[in-house]
């Protein structure tokens, strides 16, 4: 490019400042063109932020801070899950929980524990 610029200055009488200005425009144009690649990601981020704000700013039907309304002194009863299945969207063919049945009595604490990859889903089916 410098060779061609020198020809323009010598034979065509173009000023050196004009050559430099055109070179700067070419470089900045390249930067601008490369930045347009990310416009899609900014648009997606803006949509996601709007959805998050919608969730954050929603008016709840049940207000746990409100002092008015019906108050329950105690809840007594059992909690029962029948044939519960759970899987992740990234691996729909691999269920984490498979037909799990659990009956939890009042004041009983239950937890599913295990290391990552230990397939807690298949272990919990033994509780049936």
Q: Where are the domains of the chain?
A: 2-51, 79-127
pTM for the complete prediction?
0.34
Distance CA 15, CA 22 (A): 11
pLDDT, tens digit, 9 for 90 and up, residues 10-36: 888 888 888 888 889 999 999 988 888
pLDDT band of 114, cuts 50, 70, 90: low
pLDDT, tens digit, 9 for 90 and up, residues 51-61: 999 999 988 77
Three-state SS sequence of 65-109: CCCCCCCCCCCCCCEEEEEEEEECCCCCCCEEEEEEEEEECCCCC
Token pair 């954050």: residue: 56
pLDDT, tens digit, 9 for 90 and up, residues 55-108: 999 887 777 777 777 776 776 788 888 998 888 888 878 888 888 898 988 888
């Amino acid at each position: 490019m410098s060779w061609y610029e020198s020809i323009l200055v010598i034979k065509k009488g173009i000023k050196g400042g004009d050559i430099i200005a055109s070179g700067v425009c070419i470089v900045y144009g390249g930067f601008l063109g490369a930045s347009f690649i990310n416009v899609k990601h900014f648009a997606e981020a803006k949509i996601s932020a709007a959805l998050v704000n919608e969730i954050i700013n929603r008016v709840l039907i049940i207000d746990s801070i409100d002092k008015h309304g019906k108050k329950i002194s105690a809840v007594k009863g059992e909690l029962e899950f029948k044939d519960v299945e759970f899987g992740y969207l990234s691996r729909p063919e691999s269920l984490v929980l498979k037909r799990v049945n659990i009956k939890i009595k009042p004041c009983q604490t239950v937890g599913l524990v295990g290391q990552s990859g230990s397939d807690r889903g298949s272990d919990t089916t033994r509780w049936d």
